[in-house]
Structure 1
Amino acid sequence: MSLQERIKSVSLIFACGTALFSDGYANGVIGSVNTLLKRVYGAKVLAAHNYSTVLSSVAFAGTIVGMLVFGYLSDKIGRKFGMMTATVIVALFSGLSAASSGAHGNVQGLLQMLSAMRFFVGIGVGAEYPCGSVSASEQSEEPGIGKKAQHRWFALATNTMIDFGFVVAAFVPLVLFWIFGEHHLRAVWRLALGLGMVPALLVLFWRLNMDEPERYKKDSMKNARVPYLLIMKRYWVRFAAISFTWFLYDFITYPFGIYSSTVVDNITGSTDSLTVVFGWNVVINLFYMPGTLVGAFILDYLGPKYSMITGLLLQAIIGFFMSGFYVQLTKHVAGFAVLYGIFLSFGELGPGNNLGLLASKSGPTAVRGQFYGLAAAIGKVGAFVGTWAFPPMIDAFGGPESVRGNTGPFWVGSGLAILSALVTFFFIHPLTQDGMEKEDCAFREYLEANGYDTSQMGLGEDTIVNEAVAEKLSVGEKV
């Protein structure tokens, strides 16, 4: 196979997965936007109806809706339909978030509209998981992808994009603050949200000429009855294990990412300088990148299961260390930030890179969107719960002014990381190269052994032939 064909195969994986950048950006930027809203409208206004937590968590609620609805649509209508719709939703409601306003300049009305728009952005972001990620996983086993690079390209096109979104989400408010200054913070928060439109629109054009993945064409149940009871009987253990570990991972990761600016605010003595707070926020978020990048390159050698366990155990060790030496570390802000970043980085090397891979390749093509969407939705419930639990957790340990209050979340997070590693070891199956094709063959045999007519699976020969003819005609017209 030529180099050009291999590049085309890899680019298709990225066309499917890159829109997950919007997930990282949308969820990461709201932490800085919350800080700005407090400066502009006053902390009391945001505290009146707990708007800070609402804005941080409402996108997760929308994401859950998007994952569940589009998980079904991805399987029954098509991957491309879901991906195109998702990008339009993200672009539209990112713009409307930036334009939020209340009647007659009412601040509460503005915050209510912003909360509603964030919910709809979440739906678009959620749709990307069972549509974009699932398509990326199916493209990763195409002939143009090397056997020892299938897992790597998937991780780079999905989780690395999410983490890069977190980094950019931390950096953009800082740059905007440098441009507009202390007296134009309204422009800073509105533009920070509105710029979320740009990546979504770019990916929309990239996806226009895409086709459905070959695995979907061959083994989907788009035109067939889905035997859910048979599917659950075969896959419920691995599904439950993946969903549980995803819940724990998001419970740990998203609150720590969103509240990183709050943590930095505490360790820097609640400085009034937004440059300092946002600057340290950028430093911390940058640590997502080495975790996901290094993790991607060891994936095809250790395998997703053992890569995940390695990341979780290393994350737990760092978390316990930070808890035990918190007092000493707060006297050296740079050291604290570096260790905090390493804590997040190991999370990306482990479950960050591997949960999506396990969810997309542990089930059959016929219900891959629903399997992935439901598992990811359970994970996002963890993120939703975590954003609400994080502040009360600090209070329960003694409050943000105490050492115990600030170390409590690290004790909890590290303990949950060890629990996730144990569940992964005992209940999650290792993945192999070309595993989806093997799983689909085993799934067909299982269905046939239980009296299901597998001849109705796939898009049908006529559909595939027509698509091939259309593609040849398109090429002929170009020539």
Structure 2
Amino acid sequence: MAEREAKSLEQVDHDQVAQVVAVNDTEPAPSISWYSRISKFFSVKSLPSTRANLFGCSLGFISTGYQYNVISLLNVIWSIEYSQYYTDSLETRVNNALLYGVLVGQILFGGAADYFGRKVSLLITSTLVILGVIITTAANGVNNSVQGLFWAITIGRGLSGVGAGGEYPCCMPTNSEDGDELSVQKRGRRIALLGPCIEMVSENAVTVIQIILLHIFGTNASQLEPTWRISIGIVIIPTILVFIFRLRMKNSRLYERDRDIRRRFPFIVVIRMFGWRLVGTCFTWFLMDSIYFSFLTFGADILANVTGSSLMHIAYYQLVNMAWIPMAYIAAFLVDRLGRKNILMFGFFTYAMTLFLIGGLYPILFGKPAAYLVLYIFQGMFQILLVIPIYLIPSEVYPTVIRASCYGLSAAFGKVGGVVGVQFFLPIANAFSSPQSGYRADFLVAGGISVVGLVATYFLIPDLSKVSLEKEDDLFWKEVDEYYKKKNQEKNECEDEIRVDDIEL
């Protein structure tokens, strides 16, 4: 009897709970405001690792793009403010400082990202960028020495360059590995949108900020110091924000899977399977950056030569670079459909034709800024067709165990090309009797380099646009197993031969 009463009471409780749930289900759910949705989306405490990876990798390119382009107008500013000191050799040294640092960072953190993991490496790169930006912004020479000032700027830009260089082999492989897990078919678009496209927007945001600062503080030589210090230092804000997101990051699933099965592998297998790929990614990136950084660094100087305008006019003329941004997004949405290799070849071809055209018409374009800017826009648009696939290809054509290392090595060769281009850009221009003839020679040489890049892409670059990275990893480890199996078989055969010889003796 007691058991029946207990069961009936239990049944009543369940019925009451069911009625309450049914009533609650009929009531409309409370609406969530747009502010709450946005706050939750960007909340760091509740941020899932996948979203932290997205923000932590993609927003890091704000810093790299900003630091690349900030120097272009600063060269003009420093040549006005420190006209007696800012010589061609000093300008080249300051410009190359970031590139040398990037070169070191790409090689160093490429290996670190494969061995220690992507997250730890990215936290270190952000720290180096923050320290480098602080040193550059607060740069000063002993007893107000101008030479000391520029040595401090050189050191600061070099240190932040090491951090910026580490972004590439840590972020791009992570984006590639996360993208492979989400959709192999749309992996390239995701990588492009979260990397080079953001970098492109950031490069142009620099000019807008510098124009605003010039309007605030003025363009006279005595008024320029706040402009260049603030324009360098303001990038510390997004860098600190990125650092916070990176605290919540995790290594990609593909990286963790590979680390679980990771074992010793012979480099002969790597060379045999990926040797020509490495030559291709290194050489094409070298060629592109030798042109890209030359015109990125000295673009304002060329504009000053063509237009003969004031500092403010040169700054406004640089806004034409914003016309390149749509091309970056067009390339990002086409890169999966047309393939990385096809877009890269088309980019080298059109870029070469545009450079030859500008070089051939440069004497006519001198003093005609409108005509030059039209061709300059097309030059930049076709240049973007190189950037998107160049960034993507090394993140896909290598196995996970060496992906960051090979990516860092490829990008490092690119920065060697950038250093070479920046180093020889002014000597080539100064080797002629007039700046017009010198800059014309620079455009023609760059066009020839683009033709070499077209040929190198055709013969050396594979296209793994819609190939699963996980399956490529399996093929690599299968090849490693086959290598060791063959070596063990040869060893056993050799031992059997020795035993036979001993028996005959």
Q: TM-score of the superposition, structure 1-length normalised? A: 0.87
- Choose the corresponding residue for 1:163, options 200, 205, 209: 200
**2:272 aligns to what?**
233
What aligned pairs does 1:170-189 form with structure 2 within 5 A after superposition? 170-182=207-219, 183-189=222-228
Q: Distance in 1 between matches of 2:434 and 2:50?
A: 52
Q: Distance in 1 between matches of 2:366 and 2:261?
A: 56
Contact 2:398 2:406 in 1 (8 A): yes
- Choose the corresponding residue for 2:341, options 305, 310, 330: 305
Q: Is 1:336 paired with 2:390?
A: no
Q: CA deviation at 1:92?
A: 2.0
Change (3 A) 1:334 1:10: farther
Q: Is 1:195 paired with 2:234?
A: yes
Contact 1:76 1:223 in 2 (8 A): no
Change (3 A) 1:296 1:452: farther
Q: CA deviation at 1:434?
A: 4.2
Q: CA deviation at 1:132?
A: 1.2
**1:356 aligns to what?**
391
Contact 1:77 1:222 in 2 (8 A): no
Q: Is 1:390 paired with 2:430?
A: no
Q: Is 1:53 paired with 2:92?
A: yes
Q: Distance in 2 between matches of 1:148 and 1:223?
A: 27
Change (3 A) 1:125 1:398: same
**2:400 aligns to what?**
365
Q: CA deviation at 1:255?
A: 0.9
Deviates more, 1:105-114 or 1:219-228: 219-228
Structure 1 residues 73-127: Cα deviation after superposition (integer angstroms, max 9, x where no partner): 1000000111111112112211221000011211111111111111101100011
One-letter amino acid of the structure 2 residue matched with residue 18 of structure 1: L
Q: Is 1:314 paired with 2:314?
A: no
Q: Distance in 2 between matches of 1:222 and 1:448?
A: 12
One-letter amino acid of the structure 1 residue matched with residue 214 of structure 2: F
Q: Distance in 1 between matches of 2:417 and 2:128?
A: 23
Contact 2:49 2:248 in 1 (8 A): no
Q: Distance in 1 between matches of 2:158 and 2:56?
A: 25
**1:459 aligns to what?**
none
Change (3 A) 1:160 1:74: same
One-letter amino acid of the structure 1 residue matched with residue 379 of structure 2: F
Q: Is 1:431 paired with 2:464?
A: yes
- Choose the corresponding residue for 1:20, options 44, 61, 75: 61
One-letter amino acid of the structure 1 residue matched with residue 194 of structure 2: A
Q: In structure 2, the residue corresponding to 1:431 is in which secondary structure? A: coil
Q: In structure 1, the residue corresponding to 2:295 is in which secondary structure? A: helix
Contact 2:340 2:465 in 1 (8 A): no
Q: In structure 1, the residue corresponding to 2:85 is in which secondary structure? A: helix
**2:443 aligns to what?**
410
Change (3 A) 1:308 1:10: farther
Contact 2:56 2:243 in 1 (8 A): no
Q: CA deviation at 1:329?
A: 2.8
**2:164 aligns to what?**
125
Change (3 A) 1:329 1:416: same
Unpaired stretches in structure 1, ≥5 consecutive residues? 454-479
One-letter amino acid of the structure 2 residue matched with residue 205 of structure 1: I
Q: In structure 2, the residue corresponding to 1:451 is in which secondary structure? A: helix
Q: CA deviation at 1:194?
A: 0.4
**1:446 aligns to what?**
479
Q: In structure 2, the residue corresponding to 1:244 is in which secondary structure? A: helix
Q: Distance in 2 between matches of 1:428 and 1:136?
A: 21
One-letter amino acid of the structure 2 residue matched with residue 374 of structure 1: L
**1:138 aligns to what?**
177
Structure 1 residues 46-82: Cα deviation after superposition (integer angstroms, max 9, x where no partner): 22x8211111111111111101111111000000111
Q: CA deviation at 1:10?
A: 7.5
Contact 2:177 2:252 in 1 (8 A): yes
Q: Distance in 1 between matches of 2:201 and 2:362?
A: 28
Q: CA deviation at 1:157?
A: 1.1
Q: In structure 2, the residue corresponding to 1:362 is in which secondary structure? A: coil
**1:287 aligns to what?**
323
Percent of aligned positions that are identical: 29
Q: CA deviation at 1:416?
A: 1.2
One-letter amino acid of the structure 2 residue matched with residue 321 of structure 1: L
Change (3 A) 1:222 1:410: farther
Q: CA deviation at 1:18?
A: 2.7
Q: Is 1:252 paired with 2:291?
A: yes
What aligned pairs does 1:79-94 form with structure 2 within 5 A after superposition? 79-94=118-133
Contact 2:70 2:203 in 1 (8 A): yes
Contact 1:364 1:439 in 2 (8 A): yes
One-letter amino acid of the structure 2 residue matched with residue 412 of structure 1: V
Contact 2:50 2:249 in 1 (8 A): no
Compute the RMSD of aligned alpha carbons: 2.1
Q: In structure 2, the residue corresponding to 1:176 is in which secondary structure? A: helix
Q: Distance in 2 between matches of 1:141 and 1:70?
A: 22
